[in-house]
Structure 1
């Protein structure tokens, strides 16, 4: 064994060797030097990872369904149609040049946890009182298609299917086309579980700083995302006098500095960024005629977000005038702030205590599919440490010991539903 187990013997035993092996197998698809991962949603690399998951589900006796968004659902139907359905999983897509644990670890851990429960039921002769579903959501990252959380957003009816399928990447390929290209456009309907537990790496360093090993995200931030475009006039950088230039990129530079100023003024309650900038024609000796900014404003407080958005509108106009260019807003995406399910938060704390661990309660500033699903189901995100707090980077890493711990706590939480049915009803 690679690690020393700490859980009570009465719980399902997660196979550590299988957990780590599966993680390595999935990491091949889109993996590169130094741990880098580029597995953009609905790409050939994503298809390979999806095929791997589909084979695992079928070989493990789970029923595979895929919906029109390409969301993959592996059902363990063993407790009857009236039993509660408990879902766990995450996403297999990654950021470009990202890490290999963000998302994929949650899918693999769900597989390992359900496998442990199946074997424990068979060995103990227990009659299961809950059905299970392992999920792989489409386009959680929002790297190729915007907005993020597309698959879970459609499943939770926060986005329409037509809207999501019509999203296009930078090459003009739509979600609908990409799904058809890799053969993952399904026909099943929405899946609304009685509970959803998503396991993730923390993505910050709070656990590490406090010397702790387990966290629950009990609150999630909202955001506003703008695709804002400054429109200038393309010209030669040599003969065109400085005073006669209409430089779209200059206006974007002004606004990027202003975004930092918003956060400085608002303090810890606001995060701002321009994480992507598309410049046209993007030639060294051409004054940019267009600069497309992908702007994010994030806060847990609606009034702070409203203030920041008002500031954005005001400063965008001022920056355009300063650079003598025009601007337009091509899209706006919004995600609400809110809280995770209190019953599932309490269940996570109680389960961790059974492992002798204290639970750190955190906000999640980044989005997770469980955030979308809070609109229709009790949902929670649980987390284990990220070394150095690194995420969305090739050096993203969670130790094998902490990966096993997360899978064990997930399995123990799911096991309580197996023994007792929908325990959330008794916690109301």
Structure 2
């Protein structure tokens, strides 16, 4: 059952009506950076809109006493140091977007983290409490991967999954590198960021399972498995009118068959396999030329590792068939792959208990999408939360989450951040990767 913002704001111990209104005003302001005509945003990583909203966030963090720093890949941290020398609870998400995207994806999680820190700083000061861990509000760089590939770049560098040098050298379609873009914006910092002890992230679901179930808080327990391919289809450039059809080796035709094949794979395993071709680059992309080369990114995501393995086999077989029937050559490279990956069960149970105490319906859910917390959970204990997305719409200007769900998520996150900072989960073992 949905609750009004006023009801949400007056029943919990971590948020008031005034705090809720302040959060929603900030969300409205934040949504103006890169705003599109249909209610969404376009603020791809290190674009002018992204730079502007990062500066606005820095001002908000500093106004509440947090120190703002940037690491060598441009991750933005608002640091609240209350226990000198102690490691940090890293909490946040990302504020960059896809082109013509929704305004909730990622950005909600950063702002919720910031407001949780604001409230807790006040409460700890009033109580005289010194938490076990310091707080780091994070805005991860280039989570979406729309301008620079791969996605989740900032958290991948922070966790050691992606070499810094490779990330900085990555170029967008115009030839601008990550290093150049961050340097021009003034966000190319020093060091590796704060030492993490644990992590939390809240995000919109981007699906409709929570809405269908009437559940307010999703307790993310694992990620779907995935296989991501970089594919190049090689054909032979020819005249689009004069060349005899039988003589054509049309790379775009071969690529089109591959796009259809991906959808047919999903139809073969309904409900547990999602497939997509999200990017297509055609050369020479001329109206009177048969394409000689097409590059595309194809991914398979699955809730069952055995089904994913079968789908990968079927995809390889279909690629061979397409080569024979269309006369093209297809080179596919598996760029990223992972299995079903669990979040720490004790973190799920912590979140379940908080949601129950605050009176919100909650339930376990798997995430199909990738998030920065999926990188962080391999490094430190991590809690991931979802709030409902209306009609499951995301990466779309019509993306929408109700205000009462936004505030409910903020309330639950604030209490989880309190408990994590006060030592609710055991610290991770010391490593050389910046973790204690």
TM-score interval (norm. to shorter): over 0.9
Q: Are 1:270 and 2:305 counterparts?
A: no
**Could you say if the C-alpha distance between residues 239 and 401 of structure 1 is closer, same or farther in structure 2, counting changes exceeding 3 Å?**
same
Task: Give the drift of 1:261.
Answer: 2.4
Q: How does 1:156-167 map to 2 (within 5 A)?
A: 156-167=159-170
Residue aligning to 1:54: 58
**Could you say if the C-alpha distance between residues 168 and 307 of structure 1 is closer, same or farther in structure 2, counting changes exceeding 3 Å?**
farther
**Could you say if the C-alpha distance between residues 158 and 302 of structure 1 is closer, same or farther in structure 2, counting changes exceeding 3 Å?**
farther
Q: Are 1:344 and 2:353 counterparts?
A: no
Residue aligning to 1:284: 287
Task: Give the drift of 1:125.
Answer: 3.8
Deviates more, 1:14-23 or 1:337-346: 14-23
Is the CA contact (8 Å cut-off) linking 1:155 and 1:191 kept in structure 2? no
Residue aligning to 2:261: 258
Task: Give the drift of 1:248.
Answer: 0.6
Q: How does 1:159-308 map to 2 (within 5 A)?
A: 159-308=162-311
With structure 1 as the length reference, what TM-score do the two structures score? 0.93
Q: What is the distance in 1 between the residues matched to 2:20 and 2:162? A: 38
Residue aligning to 2:361: 358
Is the CA contact (8 Å cut-off) linking 1:194 and 1:422 kept in structure 2? no
Residue aligning to 1:408: 411
Q: What is the distance in 1 between the residues matched to 2:207 and 2:69? A: 34
Q: How does 1:365-404 map to 2 (within 5 A)?
A: 365-404=368-407
In the alignment, structure 1 segments of 5+ residues that lack a partner are none
Task: Give the drift of 1:170.
Answer: 1.8
**Could you say if the C-alpha distance between residues 164 and 309 of structure 1 is closer, same or farther in structure 2, counting changes exceeding 3 Å?**
farther
Is the CA contact (8 Å cut-off) linking 1:300 and 1:338 kept in structure 2? no
Is the CA contact (8 Å cut-off) linking 1:156 and 1:372 kept in structure 2? yes
Residue aligning to 1:154: 157
Residue aligning to 2:431: none
Residue aligning to 2:88: 85
With structure 2 as the length reference, what TM-score do the two structures score? 0.92
Residue aligning to 1:63: 67
Task: Give the drift of 1:331.
Answer: 6.5
**Could you say if the C-alpha distance between residues 402 and 12 of structure 1 is closer, same or farther in structure 2, counting changes exceeding 3 Å?**
closer
**Could you say if the C-alpha distance between residues 176 and 307 of structure 1 is closer, same or farther in structure 2, counting changes exceeding 3 Å?**
farther
Aligned residue for 2:138, secondary structure, equals: strand
**Could you say if the C-alpha distance between residues 298 and 2 of structure 1 is closer, same or farther in structure 2, counting changes exceeding 3 Å?**
closer
Is the CA contact (8 Å cut-off) linking 2:88 and 2:196 kept in structure 1? yes
Is the CA contact (8 Å cut-off) linking 2:133 and 2:197 kept in structure 1? no
**Could you say if the C-alpha distance between residues 29 and 384 of structure 1 is closer, same or farther in structure 2, counting changes exceeding 3 Å?**
same
Residue aligning to 2:26: 22
Q: What is the distance in 2 between the residues matched to 1:255 and 1:15? A: 51
Q: What is the distance in 2 between the residues matched to 1:150 and 1:107? A: 16
Task: Give the drift of 1:41.
Answer: 0.8
Out of 107, 114, 137, which is 1:104 matched to? 107
Deviates more, 1:210-219 or 1:305-314: 305-314
How many residues are treated as equivalent by the alignment? 424
Q: Are 1:37 and 2:41 counterparts?
A: yes
Task: Give the drift of 1:319.
Answer: 1.1
In the alignment, structure 2 segments of 5+ residues that lack a partner are 428-436
Task: Give the drift of 1:255.
Answer: 1.2
Task: Give the drift of 1:327.
Answer: 2.5
Task: Give the drift of 1:310.
Answer: 3.0
Q: What is the distance in 1 between the residues matched to 2:400 and 2:279? A: 24
